[in-house]
Structure formats: C-alpha cells, structure tokens
C-alpha cells in the first residue's frame, strides 16, 4: 500500500496527535495544565476539537481531568506504574500460555523471528544508550507476544497500558535488558 492517503484527518485527531507528541517528548511535563481555549487559540481551531482530543487523551491515560477545573498531564506515581506492569504481566503470561499449547515450531516461527529482531534492536539501543529506542523495541517485543495470541481485545487492553510506560521511558533504569532476555526463554 502506498503512503499517500489524501490526508484528510479530522481536527480532533490532529490536535490529539500534537498533544501526544508534546507529552512523550517532554514539551508538556507531568503536572502541566492543558487549557482548552489556550490550545485552541494556539493551534487556530475552536474549543470543540481540542476538548474532544483532551477527552480522548484522558481515556488513553495521558492526562487527568477534573470537571469544571481542567486537565493536566498525568503524574505517574510508582504504584500506578507497578499496577500497570502487573496487569501487563497477567496478560502476557496468559498469552504465552495460550501459545505454548498450540506451539508448532512452524506456527511460532514468525513470532520468534520478530522477537529476535526486537532483542537485536534493544541490544544496539543499549550500546548507544538511546533510551527512547530501547523502550520502543521493548514495547514491540512485548506487543508481539500479545499480538500473536490472536486476541484483538487483549491487544487493545495491552495498548492502553503501554502508554504510561512509554511516557515514563526516560526514567527507566538499565537493568531491563537482562530481564527481557530472561523472558525470551519461556516461548522457546
């Protein structure tokens, strides 16, 4: 499929995209307020699309919102992160368990190939100390596992939890690679 797609995106989606970019790249920091009219003026739209975009980010877990007060970039506390990790773990363990039952070498081959690729990327990312790249590859690794369960609902649940980890990527410590390599073993 070619890349050209006539690019007719709704304003809401454009605003959403911009706000997400700002959050993950750190232009908007946790705790920063997001004012509907201010953003609207800045982007040259009216309040409505911005409002919808904000609501969307809220359900995606990027921001907190208090009625009649406003929205702010979410402050991730340790507990919430741990909780998200736990749920992710639950989902992934389940996905792997389901895979092992039906595990022909052939059927799993593409998955394993993808996992190897992710591990490679992670290795180079670690070597270059590129945290952004590392978390990216890490996400791909885990997502591939969930994807291979063939359960779309599971994937979307997993995605909704990925967010927080992505935003907080900068804070991730380096002990990661060992742990993920450990997780490569079960499926093999």
Partner DNA sequence: TTGTCCTATATTATCGATAATTATTCTGCG
Partner DNA sequence: CGCAGAATAATTATCGATAATATAGGACAA
The nearest distance, CB 4 to DNA, in angstroms, is: 16
Among 34, 24, 27, 25, residue whose Cα is nearest residue 65: 34
Query: Residue 127 CA to chain centroid, in angstroms?
Result: 23
Among the listed ranges 31-39, 104-112, 151-159, 176-184, the one in contact with a second copy (CB under 8 A) is 151-159
Among the listed ranges 48-56, 101-109, 118-126, 148-156, the one in contact with DNA (CB under 7 A) is 48-56
Considering only residues 29, 37, 90, 174, which one is a binding residue for a second copy as defined by CB under 8 A? 90
Among the listed ranges 19-27, 47-55, 102-110, 114-122, the one in contact with a second copy (CB under 8 A) is 47-55
Query: Residue 105 CA to chain centroid, in angstroms?
Result: 29
If binding is defined by CB under 7 A, does position 48 make contact with DNA? yes
Considering only residues 19, 23, 28, 49, which one is a binding residue for DNA as defined by CB under 7 A? 49
Burial of 70: CB neighbours in 10 Å, binned 0-12, 13-18, 19+: middle
Count residues binding a second copy (CB under 8 A): 26
Query: Residue 36 CA to chain centroid, in angstroms?
Result: 24
Look up residue 89 and give its two tokens.
């773990």
Q: How many residues does the chain have?
A: 188
Residues near DNA (CB under 7 A) are 8, 10-12, 33-38, 45-49, 51-52, 66-71
């Amino acid at each position: 499929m070619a890349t050209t797609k006539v690019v007719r995106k709704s304003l809401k989606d454009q605003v959403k995209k911009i706000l997400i970019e700002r959050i993950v790249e750190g232009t908007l920091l946790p705790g920063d307020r997001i004012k509907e009219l201010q953003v609207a003026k800045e982007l040259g739209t009216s309040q409505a699309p911005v409002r919808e975009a904000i609501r969307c980010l809220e359900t995606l877990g990027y921001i907190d919102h208090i009625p009649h007060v406003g929205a702010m970039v979410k402050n991730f506390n340790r507990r919430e992160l741990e909780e998200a990790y736990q749920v992710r773990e639950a989902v992934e363990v389940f996905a792997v368990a389901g895979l092992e039952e039906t595990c022909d070498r052939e059927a799993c081959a593409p998955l394993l190939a993808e996992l190897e690729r992710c591990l490679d990327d992670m290795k180079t990312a670690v070597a270059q100390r590129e945290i952004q790249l590392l978390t990216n590859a890490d996400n791909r690794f885990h997502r591939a596992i969930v994807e291979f369960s063939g359960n779309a609902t599971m994937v979307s649940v997993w995605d909704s939890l990925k967010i927080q980890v992505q935003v907080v990527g900068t804070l991730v410590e380096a002990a990661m690679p060992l742990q993920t390599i450990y997780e490569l073993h079960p499926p093999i």
